[in-house]
Amino acid sequence: MNLEAFGWDSFFQRAFAPYEREGREPARVILEHKNLYRVVTRDGERLANLAGKFAWNAVRREDYPAVGDWVVIQVQPEGQRAVIHAVLPRRSKFSRKAAWTTMDEQIVAANVDTVLLVCGLDHNFNLRRMERYLVLAWESGATPVIVLNKADLCPDVAQKVQETEAVAAGVPIHAVSAETGDGLNRLIPYLAPGKTVALLGLSGVGKSTLVNRLLGGDVQAVQSVREKDGRGRHTTTHRELFVTPYGGLIMDTPGMRELQLWDVSDGFTGAFADIEEWAAQCRFRDCRHDSEPGCAVRAAVEAGELAPARLANYRKLLREQAYLERKIDPQAMRDEKEKRKKIHRELRRSSKRR
């Protein structure tokens, strides 16, 4: 197989060079099973599991391979299975705080070129949620693109696009209908050969239908949403990379009802560029944009240049980020301590065996 068609380039080749001298091979993770990974290599697809040393040294969830990762493998003697020895540096990663955990990073998509943030033009339309997605998308290193799906159900598409433009300056916005196919041709340029696109959004926004349309067949199962509130059930339960007829790759992801921030200090610059620009003009450098004198951000609100709801959401997300930063360092220390304990336990076992 031509790995370049799966996104392999000089960036990953340079990182792989030391392993190549050891006789290892590169592969890309296209599907994650419970304890196995499906990878694509120059010789085709294989199932792969983690090397014992790799699993031993992995402490946090982000240490493990994710769909989209390029990994270093060794093919087993029988030629069917492979062993993963390392994960190559990620060019981009879309991360969130893992659900139901105190402090852990979950990588939703790795080495993605374009993130399609899908929002439904029905009950799902929510500008505040879109701002949250944009913060994470800008932080990821990928290029965000907003897809307003279900245009066939919306009587005022132009108005919704205008409202979205107000919170996503400079971000391409496409109103489409996955059901009828209207507007989907505007998404094809993002699927150029060797490029990877990931779809992100809530359940029920039509991600799987979009994937099926772009793949030209019913690859992903789809379900209808409840008419009462537009909520959808989790149709997609895993992440998987598909090759499109246009040469690019596309990744569907499970709908995320919970999208907590994870280390997104730089993402605010892209998602809230207007507020950051006003904040630079505040009298005090540490202005909280609340009641401080000389606050340029509050002045913009009073002048009608900034929506109060957008400022409120900006401050809310900043509080989440500040809370996260207070927690990350202690958690990292605990992880490192646990890693050392594992090593000491193994040393004690080895000494007893001798």
Q: Is the pLDDT of residue 46 over 60?
A: yes
C-alpha gyration radius of the chain? 22
The CATH architecture to which 272-354 belongs is Orthogonal Bundle (1.10)
Q: Is the pLDDT of residue 234 over 50?
A: no
Given pLDDT bands bounded at 50, 70 and 90, which one contains residue 339? low
CA atoms within 13 A on the CB side of 319: 8
Q: Is the pLDDT of residue 327 over 50?
A: yes
Pick the range with the lowest mean pLDDT from 105-109, 211-215, 218-222, 313-317.
218-222
Top mean pLDDT of 25-29, 304-308, 349-353 is at 25-29
Q: Is the pLDDT of residue 66 over 50?
A: yes
Class of 3-87 in CATH: mainly beta
CA atoms within 13 A on the CB side of 96: 17
Given pLDDT bands bounded at 50, 70 and 90, which one contains residue 323? low
Top mean pLDDT of 79-83, 167-171, 236-240 is at 167-171
> 156-193, pLDDT tens digit by residue?
999 999 999 999 988 999 999 999 999 999 999 999 99
Q: How far apart are CA 276 and CA 317, in angstroms?
A: 13
Quote the Cα angle for 59-336-238, to 5°: 20
Q: Where in the chain is the domain with CATH 2.40.50.140?
A: 3-87
298, 289 contact by CB (below 8 A): yes
**pTM passes above 0.85:** no
Q: How far apart are CA 242 and CA 68, in angstroms?
A: 11
Q: Where in the chain is the domain with CATH 3.40.50.300?
A: 93-252
Pick the range with the lowest mean pLDDT from 77-86, 109-118, 177-186.
77-86
72-to-13, 41, 132, 206 alpha-carbon distances in Å: 11, 10, 34, 35
Alpha helices in the chain (DSSP H): 10-20, 52-57, 127-140, 157-167, 207-215, 267-271, 273-279, 296-302, 308-353
Q: What is the pLDDT of residue 334?
A: 62
Higher pLDDT, 302 or 228: 302
- Name residues whose C-beta falls within 8 Å of residue 98's C-beta, 6 or more positions apart in sequence: 61, 104, 105, 106
| Mean pLDDT confidence for 233-240 | 55
Neighbours of 274 (CB within 10 A): 17
Written as six digits, the tokens of 155 are: 């009587």
- Name residues whose C-beta falls within 8 Å of residue 299's C-beta, 6 or more positions apart in sequence: 278
| Mean pLDDT confidence for 89-108 | 71
Q: How far apart are CA 225 and CA 235, in angstroms?
A: 10
Written as six digits, the tokens of 78 are: 């029988």
Q: What is the pLDDT of residue 326?
A: 64
| Mean pLDDT confidence for 217-224 | 52
Q: Is the pLDDT of residue 222 over 70?
A: no
- φ/ψ of 146, rounded to 5, equals -95, 130
Higher pLDDT, 337 or 132: 132
42, 3 contact by CB (below 8 A): yes
186-to-123, 165, 176, 181, 183 alpha-carbon distances in Å: 24, 17, 9, 11, 6
- Name residues whose C-beta falls within 8 Å of residue 266's C-beta, 6 or more positions apart in sequence: 138, 139
CA 5 to chain centre: 21
> 49-60, pLDDT tens digit by residue?
999 999 888 877
Q: What is the pLDDT of residue 197?
A: 95
49, 260 contact by CB (below 8 A): no
> 274-302, pLDDT tens digit by residue?
998 999 999 988 888 888 889 999 999 99
| Mean pLDDT confidence for 62-91 | 91
Is CATH 3.40.50.300 the classification given to domain 93-252?
yes
Q: Where in the chain is the domain with CATH 1.10.40.50?
A: 272-354
Q: How far apart are CA 50 and CA 55, in angstroms?
A: 6
Q: What is the pLDDT of residue 111?
A: 95
Given pLDDT bands bounded at 50, 70 and 90, which one contains residue 271? confident
**DSSP annotation string for 16-32:** HHHHHTTT-EEEEEEEE
Q: What is the pLDDT of residue 330?
A: 62
